[in-house]
Amino acid sequence: MENELFTLSKTYDFKGTEERIYAMWEAAGYFKPQNDPAGLDHDPSIRPFVISIPPPNVTGELHLGHAMFVSMEDLMIRHQRMKGVPTLWVPGSDHAGIATQLQVEKHLLRTLEESREEIGRERFLEYTWEWKRKYGGIITDQIRRLGASCDWDRERFTLDNGLSRAVNEAFVRLYERGLIYRGPRLINWSPGLKTAVSDLEVEYHEEQGKLYHFKYRIQGGDDFLPVATTRPETILGDTAVAVHPEDERYQAFIGKTALVPILDRPIPVIADAYVDPEFGTGALKVTPGHDPNDYEIGERHNLPIVSVLDREARVTEEGGPYAGQDRFEARKNLWEDMKAQGLVIKEEPYSHQVPRSQRGGEIIEPMISTQWFVDIKPLAEPALQAVQDGRIRIVPEYFTRVYYNWMENIQDWCISRQLWWGHRIPIWYAPDGTMFCARSEEEAHEKAEVHFGEATQLEQDPDVLDTWFSSGLWPFSTLGWPDETADMAYFYPTTMMETGYDILFFWVARMIMMGLAFTGEIPFETVYLHGLIRDEQGRKMSKTIGNVIDPLTVMDEMGTDALRFTLLVGSTPGKDTNLSLKRVEANRNFANKIWNAGRLVLGLIPRCPREPEREPRWTMADGWIWARLNQLIAQVDRLFEGHQYGEAGRQIYDFFWSEFADWYLEIAKLQVSEGGDRAHYTVDLMVRTMDTCLRLLHPFTPYVTEELWQRMKKATQTHSEKLIPEDGPWAEALIVAPWPAAAPQQGWEEGNIARFTLLQEIVRTIRNLRAEKNVQPGLKIGATLVAGDLAHDIGHQSATIASLAKIQEDHLRIVEYLNEKPEGSIALVAGPVEIYLPLAEMVDPEEEKLRLGKDLQETEAQINRLQQLLDGPFAEKAPEKVVQGEREKLAGYLESADKIRAQLESLQ
């Protein structure tokens, strides 16, 4: 054969294809919004569809979480683009303060054997920028490889000049509104990272520890209060002992003076309702400097605050003999000394929640420290409102409850970090301590000059801002805010915020708060939250367990399309996905199926006669596939509308494989071989159906579909201009081809589908029996079909039936009725059709009776069920349409039962 089939590999070659196709898309500018504000065809009546990418850490390497959001967002973007909506997907990356600094520090130690303190802030930052330039591109390259159709010309980095300007602007505005304050507060201190972290960056783990019971001696006597603690070293910072005001046991102690063990520092015994008399000993040591609750008690009772731990969690001078010791060492030593002094009562095993740093993993120490905070309530209020009144919609819906819950109990946000890599806090101090908050150093100097009447030395605050502060501005800072850019005017508010539910508070909530605060508008209309990717057994992927699946390896082995399809179809919004490689493999097979179906179509195109002689006339199969295709389009549209992307993909998969490929293409081969007009119409319809499937699949599996589509376009154009998609000429590329529209129903569809379904049933019934009776697969047998009224319709399909069921065509009889059962045949029933196969010699009549008897039994069971149903209240209460459906089913079963009975009789 001279056709193209043999020039194409049987296996889809994704490796070469992906790179070539992506380069083609990018070069052609398909990733740019069609109605770019800079362009001339800007149509203000069409709202663009905009996504800001969740910026990956600049030092990161692609993991499945990235693969998930990229696939999902690319799906949405491609879908909208094909629908003709101007789409913008803004890419970028995040400087990721702590993560990057840690990584660079490690690298620095390894290569130059120097710490960041040794080389100093300035050199360290240079070094880090160098690092960023070198490795920052890795992640974006990997994202491209996933097929991400971002507008790469708009790529942003959170430490870019523009974005840094936005950060300063935001800080200044909050400061001027009085929503930023600085002060000593109890914060979460990470001794490993030597910085403060926010509440969200602390993770609590249930851990086995000890509860230490000891005696708090009362001054001037032998009395003592029994007290329990999990952290004995904090005893050194106690400034009170508290009991419940109504606790009868301890009434006498209230107002007395207790002595801190070892230090003998006198502290008051106070009464506070916070103390739970039931817990522990019922007496509580109060350490305002190292415990959030105690801090509050301290405020109520005006207690002094003693800090006994320093930045590295070593005991301070306040700790007397333990000064300089590490916190755990001090814990041990102090406890030993207390034992020696007879102050120890007991220690018991105790499991409790231990706070650990999300990044470093070490135990977080609550400490008093001077930090910058955002007064968050005034920002949270409108953010809560925006979701409550529906301006922002969260998918899946149940996450709105989670959002409310958090927003309603939100605490002030500690935004300063004692790091170097990040946005430096735009505050400058004069030598006398006066603060100037300014957008730039120049502005700070101007302000200082106005304030002092002369130029002054200024020093900028050494701290940097929490990374999430800049991320919170992302949807608008990437569009040029605070400037009133064309992009801001046209693309903002953005449309879709697609991200993992794990950063709902970290990121999404903050973007909503800051978006409303700075732009006065919501930053996005919809929040779509996907789940986490776990391993096959539902465990988190981690290097220590060794169950990490690397998306790059998966792409190498199975192709990007397979990975994307798996992530997209295997996930439900908000729910975690257990990824199994078996699944990816199955979807690689699907990609290959698409490829091979494409090869067949390509091979048949040249066999299409150029000009049909008569008006088109479709076969039953033609009408069926066309009707089903249109149903599919309608379904997919509905599902996309409701963000049910996975279900949409599944339906396309099923249609493509088990209807189009398994049935229609098989039949199309036969119809094409008839030649003439039939061949023409068949190829025409087949190409159109394939074209539509490729369009529907494109957002899921962009590469294989684009490749095939290009080839189809070329093949049809060289062959016949008549072979074009119904809605106009072939587009330039599939990525910008119009999304299919379902043809309006004309009324014949359901009947056609029903008739074809019967045909399928006939074929299956025959195949089934052949398999059961071990009829040689290649052996063609004869058959007689008794089809009553349907004989005419089915008669037209004799070639199809013959081919699919391996019946010898000239021995296939299709008749309306039969007086007598054909000699030596075995009888079957498919719906209202009786089938006789000349295989009597292969079967035992008794066995046949059993088989038919079983059939009859099943059919009668259905009849009974339906009759009862229809006799009951169902017939009156259920909608007419549903009842009618059941009646038709009943009629069908009754007919089948008759046929089976007749056959049983003839066996007697």
Query: Rounded to the nearest whole angstrom, what is the least distance from the CB of residue 169 to RNA in the complex?
Result: 29
Stretches 140-148, 467-475, 703-711, 774-782: which one binds RNA (CB under 7 A)?
774-782
Which amino acid is located at 384 in the chain? L
Residues between 383 and 442 that touch RNA (CB under 7 A): 398, 401-402, 405-406, 409, 411
Q: Can you tell me the distance from the alpha carbon of 828 to that of 836, in angstroms, rounded to the nearest whole number?
A: 6
CA distances from 457 to 153, 426, 442, 585 (A): 41, 15, 12, 66
Residues between 451 and 470 that touch RNA (CB under 7 A): none
Q: Between 653 and 672, how does the x/- string for binding to RNA read (CB under 7 A)?
A: -x--x---xx--xx--x---
Stretches 125-133, 435-443, 513-521, 645-653: which one binds RNA (CB under 7 A)?
645-653
User: Residue 356: how many CA atoms within 13 Å on its side-chain side?
Assistant: 12
For position 575 contacting RNA by CB under 7 A, the verdict is: yes
∠296-297-300 over CA atoms, to 5°?
A: 90
DSSP 524: E
For position 190 contacting RNA by CB under 7 A, the verdict is: no
Query: Rounded to the nearest whole angstrom, what is the least distance from the CB of residue 48 to RNA in the complex?
Result: 27
> Is the CB of residue 615 less than 8 Å from the CB of residue 681?
no
Stretches 285-293, 374-382, 491-499, 720-728: which one binds RNA (CB under 7 A)?
285-293
Q: Can you tell me the distance from the alpha carbon of 868 to that of 861, in angstroms, rounded to the nearest whole number?
A: 11
Query: Rounded to the nearest whole angstrom, what is the least distance from the CB of residue 11 to RNA in the complex?
Result: 3
User: Residue 566: how many CA atoms within 13 Å on its side-chain side?
Assistant: 27
Query: Rounded to the nearest whole angstrom, what is the least distance from the CB of residue 869 to RNA in the complex?
Result: 6
847: CB partners within 8 A, 6+ apart: none
For position 525 contacting RNA by CB under 7 A, the verdict is: no
> Total binding residues for RNA by CB under 7 A?
99
Nearer to RNA, 39 or 885 (CB): 885
For position 280 contacting RNA by CB under 7 A, the verdict is: yes
Stretches 163-171, 228-236, 467-475, 509-517: which one binds RNA (CB under 7 A)?
228-236
Stretches 371-379, 747-755, 815-823, 875-883: which one binds RNA (CB under 7 A)?
875-883
**Unique residue bearing structure tokens 């000394």:** 337
Stretches 99-107, 200-208, 377-385, 486-494: which one binds RNA (CB under 7 A)?
200-208
Q: Can you tell me the distance from the alpha carbon of 77 to that of 738, in angstroms, rounded to the nearest whole number?
A: 13
For position 808 contacting RNA by CB under 7 A, the verdict is: no
> Is the CB of residue 400 less than 8 Å from the CB of residue 392?
no
* Cα 519 versus chain centre, distance: 27
DSSP reduced 3-state for 529: strand
Stretches 100-108, 168-176, 262-270, 883-891: which one binds RNA (CB under 7 A)?
883-891
Stretches 429-437, 564-572, 685-693, 700-708: which one binds RNA (CB under 7 A)?
564-572
DSSP 170-188: HHHHHHHTT-EEEEEEEEE
For position 688 contacting RNA by CB under 7 A, the verdict is: no
Query: Rounded to the nearest whole angstrom, what is the least distance from the CB of residue 834 to RNA in the complex?
Result: 18
Q: Can you tell me the distance from the alpha carbon of 717 to that of 240, in angstroms, rounded to the nearest whole number?
A: 89
DSSP 813: E
Nearer to RNA, 139 or 511 (CB): 511
Q: Is the peptide bond before 482 cis (omega within 30 degrees of 0)?
A: yes
For position 228 contacting RNA by CB under 7 A, the verdict is: yes
Stretches 132-140, 329-337, 367-375, 579-587: which one binds RNA (CB under 7 A)?
579-587
Nearer to RNA, 353 or 718 (CB): 353
For position 864 contacting RNA by CB under 7 A, the verdict is: no
SS (H, E, C) 709-769: HHHHHHHHHHHCCCCCCCCCCCCCCHHHCCCCCCCCCCCCHHHHHHHHHHHHHHHHHHHHH
In DSSP terms, 393 is beta-bridged to 526
Query: Rounded to the nearest whole angstrom, what is the least distance from the CB of residue 326 to RNA in the complex?
Result: 19
Of residues 246, 264, 276, 449, which one binds RNA by CB under 7 A? 276
Query: Rounded to the nearest whole angstrom, what is the least distance from the CB of residue 248 to RNA in the complex?
Result: 15
Nearer to RNA, 293 or 547 (CB): 293
Nearer to RNA, 156 or 899 (CB): 899
Query: Rounded to the nearest whole angstrom, what is the least distance from the CB of residue 296 to RNA in the complex?
Result: 7
For position 803 contacting RNA by CB under 7 A, the verdict is: no
Residues between 46 and 75 that touch RNA (CB under 7 A): none
For position 885 contacting RNA by CB under 7 A, the verdict is: yes
Residues between 527 and 556 that touch RNA (CB under 7 A): 536-538
Query: Rounded to the nearest whole angstrom, what is the least distance from the CB of residue 732 to RNA in the complex?
Result: 27
For position 232 contacting RNA by CB under 7 A, the verdict is: no
DSSP 846-901: HHHHHHHHHHHHHHHHHHHHHHHHHHSTHHHHS-HHHHHHHHHHHHHHHHHHHHHH
In DSSP terms, 530 is beta-bridged to 500
Which amino acid is located at 65 in the chain? G
